[in-house]
Amino acid sequence: MLDLSNRFFLSDSPADIELRAFTHGAMPRTVPAMMDAYVQDWQTLGVDAWNEVPNHWLPHSGETVGWWSLPEYLGDRFVAPLLNAPEGTCILQPNVHTVVQALLSCRELDLRGKHVLTTANEFPSVLHTLRRWQEVYGFELDVVEPGADGFADRSAIRNAITDRTRLVVLSHVGFTTGEQLETPFLHEVAERVHACGGILAVDGYHATGTLVIDVEAIGADVYFGGLLKHGSASTGNAYLYVRPGINLSPRASGWFGDGDPFGFGLSPTDHSNVRRRFMGGTPAVASMYHAVEGLRILLDVGMEAVRRDSLAKTERCLDHALALSLKVRSPLAAESRAAMVILEVDRADLLCAYLKKRGIFTDSRQGRYLRMAPYVWNTIGDVDRAFEVIDEAISSGNYRTIDLAHEGGPVT
């Protein structure tokens, strides 16, 4: 089983247990040196850093990189291997919200039907954006409700695809359920969508760094996510994969995505490289210096090993939860389970605050769900201790005395 705690900065207290990788990953120990490199490059090279900086990411590769090319370079060298994607298909983006808006603005979607399909389990960066732009773009938004068990209703998703479907957007892993949509199901959806002339976009944010992902096996036209969470890259580091051969032309493209950016013409032109068209204005360079340090760790050990480790640790969580007769919201079956274990607990927000006071860091949603995800820096002992405290808190009821007014801000 993996214990990579020595490769991350964790709490100074050895008794603390960090179980919130799905919210914000721990900082890799190589990040301070990379940020020092950014400061040094800016200080010594100034404007010329846009053309070339020392290759801090793969220093022995002999490859040239500059700030201008970093989104593509890091996409090729680190994101593509994570997704089993071919070179030339992945690019860094500032956040998923920007990706979805650019996707909706693609001229090619105008030529397809008016039907856009998604589910009620999508993250707001997807679902809210679709709702906000529905009237502007004139599409009919079809939001499939979950089944009685709270998980994705696969039959309803299949049946909702028609010859008028222009776009289907699905989460690879549900952020409120911890359920993964298996590759065979996503591939079936892709085939149905493609038969109708539509496009499949998959939100992989909560799958990134937890599952073995193969975008070509999925058949997605677009796959996007971020490195903030299990990728341990902090903010400003989302990514996008665009299937080879597909032509997409976002109206939301910026001057970094223009076909002739330094021509400064009066009219925009499409870049010859489709992934580059999704670039907007000048990106935040500093965030790209720490973008892939977490991925470096994961790729070093291999995503197969990370997945085996996650399954073993979440299985231990489930064993404890079921032994304590706790209601489990996330899937029990390994093939449907991602990295999150979600417990349905009365006043989960109070329980989360109670655990935090005892060095057990989880989070809660809607006052009903306690979420946790043991990761590569946790041990089985961490899981056991966390559930000892959970058992004590629930059996005694002591957690209900917590006053949330004195427990800080909304992020748990």
pLDDT at 366: 87
**CA end-to-end span of the chain:** 28
User: What crossing angle do the helices spanning 96-104 and 124-137 adopt, rounded to 10°?
Assistant: 20
Alpha-carbon radius of gyration of the chain? 22
pLDDT at 135: 87
CATH no. of 5-22+302-406: 3.90.1150.10
- Collect the ranges in the chain with pLDDT lower than 50: none
pLDDT at 278: 98
For residue 115, give the H/E element and its range.
Answer: strand 115-119
User: Which candidate, 122, 97, 118, 213, places its Cα nearest to that of 165?
Assistant: 118
Q: Which residues contact 74 (CB under 8 A, 6 or more apart)?
A: 57, 92, 288, 291, 292
Span(s) in the chain for CATH 3.40.640.10: 38-299
Which amino acid, 174? G
Pick the CATH number of 38-299 from 3.40.50.150, 3.30.70.20, 3.40.640.10, 1.10.3720.10: 3.40.640.10
275 touches 90 (CB < 8 A) = yes
| Positive/negative CA dihedral, 100, 105, 106, 112 | positive
Over residues 129-165, the pLDDT tens digits come to 999 999 888 999 999 999 999 999 999 999 999 999 9
Over residues 289-335, the pLDDT tens digits come to 999 999 999 999 999 999 999 999 999 999 999 999 999 999 999 99
User: Which candidate, 242, 340, 225, 211, places its Cα nearest to that of 291?
Assistant: 225
User: Which candidate, 1, 33, 109, places its Cα nearest to that of 296?
Assistant: 33
pLDDT at 405: 67
For residue 167, give the H/E element and its range.
Answer: strand 165-171
CA 18, CA 22: separation in Å to the nearest integer? 11
Q: At which residue do the structure tokens 């100074």 appear?
A: 12
Q: List alpha helices for 46-138, DSSP H.
A: 70-74, 80-83, 96-104, 124-137
pLDDT at 243: 98
pLDDT at 145: 97
